[in-house]
Amino acid sequence: MKEKLQTINSLNNFSPKVAAICFWSITVFFSALWVILPTMFHTGYRISDVIEVQCIAKEWVIATRKHPMLPAWILEIVNIITNRSFAAPFIASQFCVILTLWSVWQLGRKVLSEKLALVGAFTILPYYFFTYHSLVYNQNMVLIAFWSLSVYFVFQAFQTNRFLYWVLSGVSIGLTFHAKYMAVFLVLSMLIFMFTRSDGRKLWRGIGPYITTIIAFLIFTPHIIWLYQNDFATLDYAKNRFIYSSQICRILMPMWFTIYQMENWYSTLIVIYPVLGFVWNWKLKIHETKNESACRQYLFCCFIIPFILCIAIMTVKNCWLSASYGAPFWTFLSVWLMLRFQCNKSANTLVNTVKLTVLLEVIMYLLLVTSILFSSLHGKQKKQLFPTRELGTQCDQIWYSKFNTPCPFVSGEWSICGYACYAMRDRPSLHFYWNIYDGGISNLDAKPTGNWSTDADVNQKGGLVVWNISENNNPNNYIPNWVHQRFPNAEVIPEPIILPYKTSTKIPPHKIGVAVIPPI
């Protein structure tokens, strides 16, 4: 019997070298598909968040009025490496995906067999934010990556008390705060875990936790200085978002947030069921090592406490938090499930699990190819089909027909001026105000997106102003009032830019008004 168990365990496990080959080959292959396919069949980006990060990236600012800017720094590095390739945001997204998968895999290897650690990593490959939503490179993608990295490094520091892991924990936590302020939820979870355990409290007698705290604080210090210099603009922005007056929303919003979390973990449950068996056969683990117990409790704190905090904020503040706020909570769910419940130790079952995971991924990517082809050939007017390069070319022609110097700024309605900034050859700076969203300016005292430009800069150095032209506009009077209010020297181009969509579906072309501000 003992020999039989040893034989099964040997079949259940890979050597570390084979496991590494398996992990990197599968991960890189699927990540490459999410870069190549949208690059081949899309002409624009699916959500304007990508263009926002693209335009802000060149400015190398600490933050804007919405978020810290680590995502923009990463994207600009990729832009430099790829010579501003259209695929740059997709590459940056997949960098975040690979970083997350690596963190899950590495933590899994500390408490599970090599094969189960691979299962833990592969079961989050179908994750919504790692598949279709990975085409949207924004704060959420970077938050997920550095949140997961922090979870792994802090656990290693907790288990080994090695100086290196305390340093790495500080770096990863500091960078997580530069992605999104929600990192504070993770830090609270880690502190609660450490202070509720005797071995965790003992660690504070050493230098490790203090090294982590100091490094994280130093990394985040530039942003703290920025906050002070800009009247805590990001906190003011966050405080005023999605506040409701109806008291029923205190119940509905947390409920909907909870329901929408299903898209973050349903794929994991589908893929992992061969390891655990069907739900009604799940059995709680009876025997577990001290290391497994600590990891299970730690991972539970890292997803349940941030989730409870989100529910509490929505209930107390009567506000809505996007479901994407919960995206980083569940990346280690598969590892926690395998630690919490009895795994099926059959060698054949584990082999079939890996096969099923890969099969599921192949099916999803075949569906992706079909959806991209269909949307490209027969799609309706969508942002991923926006004729980006054509807009940049025509804007360049308008500017250089009048001036021989690079265009310094593009301003106007956000969705259009962002695309123009990105696509023009000299990559002008973006200048827009928060309340310019397809409807002009409702408040002339609004603050700009960043601290790199003002209306006075644009009026002095010159640039382009662009806006959408609706089919309902009078062709002889389609100039928004705010154009001359903000830019009195702007010269409106009589003929708007006409941008036809390259799709077989008969949809009207995009019409864009343009005005030129001559430099003084």
Alpha-carbon distance of 95 to 257, in angstroms, equals 27
Confidence (pLDDT) at 66: 83
The whole-chain average pLDDT of the chain stands at 83
Q: Are 413 and 436 in contact (CB under 8 A)?
A: yes
Average pLDDT over residues 428-441: 58
Confidence (pLDDT) at 359: 72
In this prediction, what percent of the chain has a pLDDT beyond 90?
38
pLDDT of 364 above 80: no
Write the single-letter amino acid at 249. Answer: C
- What DSSP character marks residue 495? S
For 423-469, the three-class secondary structure string (H helix, E strand, C coil) is HCCCCCEEECECCCCCCCCCCCCCCECCCCCCHHHHHHHCEEEEEEC
| Residue 375 binned pLDDT confidence (cut-offs 50, 70, 90) | low
Average pLDDT over residues 457-465: 91
Tokens 């998968």 appear where? 101
Instruction: Answer with the residue of higher pLDDT: 376 or 89.
Output: 89
pLDDT of 54 above 80: yes
Confidence (pLDDT) at 109: 93
Alpha-carbon distance of 223 to 63, in angstroms, equals 7
Average pLDDT over residues 108-131: 87
Please, which residues have CB within 8 angstroms of residue 439's CB and are 6 or more apart in sequence?
none
| Residue 308 binned pLDDT confidence (cut-offs 50, 70, 90) | very high
**How many C-beta neighbours within 10 Å does residue 280 have?**
5
pLDDT of 309 above 90: yes
Three-state secondary-structure class, residue 154: helix
| Residue 440 binned pLDDT confidence (cut-offs 50, 70, 90) | very low
Q: Which candidate, 116, 77, 120, places its Cα nearest to that of 96? A: 77
| Residue 135 binned pLDDT confidence (cut-offs 50, 70, 90) | confident
Task: Name the E strands within 18-144.
Answer: none
pLDDT of 94 above 90: yes
pLDDT of 151 above 50: yes
Average pLDDT over residues 294-316: 93
pLDDT of 472 above 60: no
| Residue 211 binned pLDDT confidence (cut-offs 50, 70, 90) | very high
Confidence (pLDDT) at 381: 52
Q: Which candidate, 136, 130, 274, 146, places its Cα nearest to that of 220? A: 146
| Residue 192 binned pLDDT confidence (cut-offs 50, 70, 90) | very high
pLDDT of 73 above 90: yes
Q: Which of 14-23, 98-107, 289-298, 505-514 ranks highest by mean pLDDT?
A: 98-107
The tens digit of pLDDT for each residue in 80-93 reads 999 889 999 999 99
Exposure letters 228-265 (e unless 16+ CB within 10 A, then b): eebeebbeeeeeeeeeeeeeebbeebbeebeeebebbb
In this prediction, what percent of the chain has a pLDDT beyond 70?
82
Q: How far is CA 161 from the centre of its chain?
A: 31
Residue 46 parent element (H or E): none
Give pTM, 2 decimals.
0.89
Average pLDDT over residues 303-329: 89
Confidence (pLDDT) at 407: 93
| Residue 451 binned pLDDT confidence (cut-offs 50, 70, 90) | low
Please give the backbone phi and psi of residue 57, each rounded to the nearest 5 degrees, phi first: -55, -40
